[in-house]
């Protein structure tokens, strides 16, 4: 049973926990569409299966697949991974799934944001997203969690929280006229904070160059824990991200979190330039209304687009020259965690990465857990 509620999580005493807090599971979707994934999605399916197996070593994983792909998903996924039938337009559970919120009495609910395929008729990535729009509700039914349904277009990849009242996002995405043109900055900020049970928004400017989501924060920065932000970084003045990451660092260092504290900003090296090859682009079947995949396009790859499972960081392997540097930062910032890399180029070719394809279900918590 899942009921739709007409209050807000903040008013009801619920908050979105930090992703680094304990989980009871993880949801994913199964990539299928041949106009976004090359070779009929087969290489992407193997990459998703590797992510699911890496996460499943730490917490339960459930993957939603269409009826037509259920058996193939079952065959390719680790036996420890659950598979259920869920129709979707593509496979980005971070963005189409619910954002879970918890209270201090052991209850868990979900926020079902509106979704318009990253920009609707003004730059959206495909032109029909009705099935994606229904995914969050279906997950909440399967979880038996009640649902908030704010009138706000928002993708889960466009927000991060410290779980203690602070949210980071980018102006490029959340204030983009292709999401909520009828709302102003203050109204958007209020709705986001009320639905995450938070008090302080820290606005970053632009996301990574060429990010087709209009600059999701989950490719740029995330919290390792309250007070510590990991920020994608380059020292190369010729890199298109050079000014973007400096502006983000400045804003983070000037900000105070909800507790009034300054943030420590930890640089995570960006991979070198990652470019779609002729062969990769040729494997995608172009379709009217879907963003084409062009040879030579630089992809918005980032190591901060990782998934923090219970005791285990699952991060994308993107560039052999930088993978180990990124892993070293993650090991230093997540002591006691296994840091596990998964080959992720096939996911990046579809426009996102490991964080974008996963959605954590936070563990229920009791007030005494925080005492
Ligand atoms: O950044 C994300 N959270 C998702 C990326 C979606 C890309 C769609 N092609």
Q: What is the 3-state secondary structure (H, E, C) of 255-272?
A: CCCCCCCCCEEEEEECCC
Ligand 1 binding pocket mutation candidate from 92, 290, 359 (most atoms within 8 A of CB) = 92
Element spanning 204, H or E = strand 200-204
- Among 352, 357, 358, which is best to mutate for testing ligand 1, by the most ligand atoms less than 8 A from CB? 352
- CA–centroid distance for 321 within its chain: 25
pLDDT of residue 58 exceeding 90 = yes
Q: Ligand 1: does its nearest atom lie under 6 Å from the Cβ of 352?
A: yes
Q: Convert 103-120 to b/e letters by CB count within 10 Å (16 or more is b).
A: beeeebbbbbbbbbbbbb
Task: Supply the pLDDT for residue 369.
Answer: 59
The finding on whether 193 has its CB within 6 A of some atom of ligand 1 is no
Report the b/e string of 236-271 with b at 16+ CB within 10 A.
eeebebbebbeebbebbeebebbeeeebebbebbbb
The CB density around residue 63, as the number of other CB atoms within 10 Å, is 28
Instruction: Answer whether residue 16 shows pLDDT above 60.
Output: yes
Q: Write out the DSSP string of 269-291.
A: EPPS--B--HHHHHTS---TTS-
216 in ligand 1 pocket by Cβ < 6 Å? yes
Q: What is the distance in A from the centroid of ligand 1 to the CA of 128?
A: 16
Nearest CA-CA partner of 113 in 178, 61, 179:
179
**Residues 327-351, mean pLDDT to the nearest whole number:** 98
Helix (H, G, I), strand (E, B) or coil at 243: helix
Q: Separation of 356 CA from ligand 1 center, angstroms?
A: 6
Q: Per-residue pLDDT tens for 32-57?
A: 999 999 999 999 999 999 999 999 99
Whether 356 is catalytic is: yes
Closest C-alpha to ligand 1, atom 7: 351
Q: Are 96 and 132 in contact (CB under 8 A)?
A: yes
Strands 61-65 and 23-29, by their bridges, are: parallel
Task: Find out whether the beta carbon of 94 lies less than 6 Å from any atom of ligand 1.
Answer: yes
How much is the pLDDT for 370? 53
Query: Does 367 have pLDDT greater than 80?
Result: no
SS (H, E, C) 23-66: EEEEEEECCCCCCCCHHHHHHHHHHHHHHHHHHHCCCCEEEEEC
Q: How confident is the model at residue 203 (pLDDT cuts 50, 70, 90)?
A: very high
Question: Using 50, 70 and 90 to split pLDDT, how confident is the model at 324?
Answer: very high
Cβ-Cβ contacts under 8 Å for 162 (sequence gap 6 or more): 18, 223, 225, 226, 227, 257, 258
pLDDT, tens digit, for every residue of 85-116? Answer: 999 999 999 999 999 999 999 999 999 999 99
Q: Which residues are 18's β-sheet partners?
A: none
Question: pLDDT band at residue 368, thresholds of 50, 70 and 90?
Answer: low
Cβ of 356 less than 6 Å from ligand 1? yes
Q: Is the minimum distance from the CB of 132 to ligand 1 under 6 angstroms? A: no
- For residue 15, which of 335, 371, 333, 370 has the smallest C-alpha distance? 370
pLDDT tier, 366 (very low <50, low <70, confident <90, very high otherwise): confident
Report CA torsion sign: 163, 302, 325, 268: negative
Nearest CA to ligand 1 atom 2: 356
SS3 call for 167: strand
| Beta bridge partner(s), residue 203 | 169
Percent of the chain, pLDDT > 90?
97
Flag whether pLDDT at 130 surpasses 60: yes
Q: Is the CB of 350 within 6 Å of ligand 1?
A: yes
Ligand 1 pocket test target in 94, 302, 346 with most atoms within 8 Å of CB: 94
Q: Decide: pTM greater than 0.95.
A: yes
As a whole number, the mean pLDDT across the chain is 97
Rounded to 5°, angle at Cα 259 from 174 and 255? 50
User: Does residue 268 have its Cβ closer than 6 Å to ligand 1?
Assistant: no
- Per the CB < 8 A criterion, the answer to whether 131 and 87 are in contact is yes
Ligand 1, atom 9, lies closest to the CA of 351
Going from the C-alpha of 266 to that of each of 201, 204, 324, 363, the distances in angstroms are 19, 16, 16, 27
Ligand 1 centroid distance, CA of 11 (Å): 30
Q: Are 174 and 206 in contact (CB under 8 A)?
A: no
Residues 6+ away with beta carbon under 8 Å from 53: 77, 78, 80, 81
Burial 158-170 (b: 16+ CB within 10 A, else e): bbbbbbbbbbbbb
So what's the pLDDT on residue 122? 86
pLDDT, tens only, 263-289 = 999 999 999 999 999 999 999 999 999
* 298-314 residue pLDDT tens: 999 999 999 999 999 99
């Amino acid at each position: 049973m899942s009921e739709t509620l007409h209050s807000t999580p903040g008013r009801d005493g619920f908050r979105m926990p930090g992703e680094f807090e304990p989980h009871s599971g993880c949801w994913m979707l199964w990539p299928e569409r041949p106009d976004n994934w090359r070779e009929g999605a087969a290489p992407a399916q193997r990459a998703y299966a590797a992510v699911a197996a890496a996460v499943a070593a730490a917490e339960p994983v459930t993957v939603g697949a269409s009826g037509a792909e259920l058996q193939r998903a079952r065959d390719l996924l680790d036996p420890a991974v659950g598979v259920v039938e869920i129709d979707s337009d593509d496979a980005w559970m971070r963005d189409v799934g619910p954002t879970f919120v918890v209270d201090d009495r052991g209850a868990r609910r979900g926020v079902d944001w509106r979704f318009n395929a990253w920009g609707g008729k003004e730059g959206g990535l495909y032109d029909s997203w009705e099935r994606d729009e229904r995914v969050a509700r279906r997950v909440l039914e399967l979880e038996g969690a009640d649902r908030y349904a704010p009138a706000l277009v928002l993708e889960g990849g466009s927000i991060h929280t410290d779980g203690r009242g602070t949210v980071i996002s980018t102006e490029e995405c959340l204030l983009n006229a292709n999401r909520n043109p009828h709302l102003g900055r203050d109204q958007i900020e209020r709705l986001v904070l009320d639905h995450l049970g938070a008090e302080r928004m820290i606005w970053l400017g632009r996301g990574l160059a060429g990010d087709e989501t209009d600059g999701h924060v989950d490719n740029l920065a995330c919290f390792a824990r309250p007070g510590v932000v990991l920020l994608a970084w380059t020292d190369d003045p010729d890199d298109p991200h050079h000014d973007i990451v400096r502006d983000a660092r400045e804003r983070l260092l000037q900000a105070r979190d909800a507790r009034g504290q300054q943030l420590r900003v930890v640089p995570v090296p960006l991979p070198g330039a990652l470019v779609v090859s002729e062969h990769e682009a040729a494997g995608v079947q172009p379709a009217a209304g879907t963003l084409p995949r062009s040879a030579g396009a630089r992809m918005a790859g980032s190591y901060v687009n990782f998934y923090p499972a219970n005791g285990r960081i699952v991060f994308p392997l993107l560039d052999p020259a930088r993978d180990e540097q990124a892993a070293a930062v993650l090991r230093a910032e997540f002591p006691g965690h296994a840091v596990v890399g998964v080959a992720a180029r096939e996911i990046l070719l579809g426009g996102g990465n490991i964080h974008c394809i996963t959605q954590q279900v936070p563990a229920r918590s009791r007030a005494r857990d925080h005492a």
